[in-house]
Structure 1
Amino acid sequence: MSKTTDAGTGHIPVLLAPVLDGLNVRPEGRYIDGTFGRGGHSREILQRLNAKGRLLAIDRDPDAIAAVDETLQSDPRFEIVRGEIAQLKTIGRQHGLLGKVDGLLLDLGVSSPQLDDPGRGFSFRYDGPLDMRMDPQQGEAASSWLAAVSEKQLKKVLYEYGEEKNAPRIARAIVAARATQAITRTAQLAEIVAAAAPGRGLKIHPATKTFQAIRIYVNAELQQLGSALQA
């Protein structure tokens, strides 16, 4: 397993070398990093490109865009766009790369900086607002969705996106809890899930799969991936 720390961010991309080897970067190639994050993969791709190479990075998280440092901003081979991977075809066309890309990198899921920021609401490890949106300015926050979703739909989401075997109990507990108090904090949700399905003997926190399932649903991650792969 290869781990490399991003300059200035402390974020560690996992399996970096195998991923880049699989991408088989050509020095003069054109590439898209569809999930820029904190730029770990993008920096490594740029190191393998010559002056004729080109890299277009995409991310829908405004924090990721804001984290782009001067070194990347001043690199003529590099460009970053705030957008979704579902818009890959449109973005590629706008930047003259449609049908001309040598490789596409998608590192799906939540990043360490997102998990470590209580204000983003991705993690049960910290108490914060129950948001979970990759782009806090778009879509519905997890708390709003939980306030209105039916027990049947919630159970389905937990099953399909979290493979949570205790989905019926957890869904029932969430619906019962919200009837007395709005679920707006990560700590609230984690406590409700842990009480409904204690998970004795598990190596992971009882709320792990629930948080994963809700995050995937709120951000339409599988639909985003499907659209990107059709581009």
Structure 2
Amino acid sequence: MLDTIRQIETPEGVFLRLHAAGALPRAQAWLIDFAIRAAVFWAVMIPLALLGEGGMGIGALVVFAMTWVYSVVCEVWFGGQTLGKRALSLRVVGADGAPITLVPSVVRNLLRVVDMLPGVYGVGLISTLVDPHARRLGDVIAGTMVVHVVDTLGGNQVPTVPAEAPPRALSSEEQAIIVEFAERCPQLTPQRQRELADLLSPLTGQTGDAGVRRLVAFANYLLGRA
């Protein structure tokens, strides 16, 4: 039930760290979504009940939409977040860290029927405990995972400055070090930034604040920013 870190290397050789969400925050998000669906159901069904059989037919469509369509629409068109996941700062993404698309979303949500067996998400809970990235069976088959938003947005924490190409080709490990440094800059004191940047002065050709700025410029280049 503990959260885990998944490190992925992009085709550009940049490493992404995805903080996989454990069973507890996912269960809390599900409860919030369940409460929202229940509230909408009763708000709609009370007036529809006055319409007789026609109203009940419309109510059945509402139940279907809230049970199956709600999650898919939120995941595909609202950044991988239902209202419950947004409240818990969670997001559904592809196993490679890419935004979730329609087919994987449909698959993972249809397989909730299996994950709920034999009741109270029994299969799903066992799967999250066994899988190294806390995925329920539906996520394993669909090739998706639920992560904490702060980790999926790690690259956006890099200060935006004019990008600059490194003076030589960098290994995947060197690229990851530079991007990680730039991500951590906002949390480091200026003295610590300069201290770390000076370690890479053979690459930047600069020391002190100039070295820090050049490393951040390299990071922006590695992240594909113009």
* Fold shared, TM-score > 0.5 on shorter chain: no
Structure showing the higher helix proportion among its residues: 2
TM-score norm. by structure 1 comes to 0.27
Larger Rg: 2
Could you state the TM-score of these two structures normalised by the residue count of structure 2? 0.27
Higher relative contact order (CA 8 A, sep 6+): 2
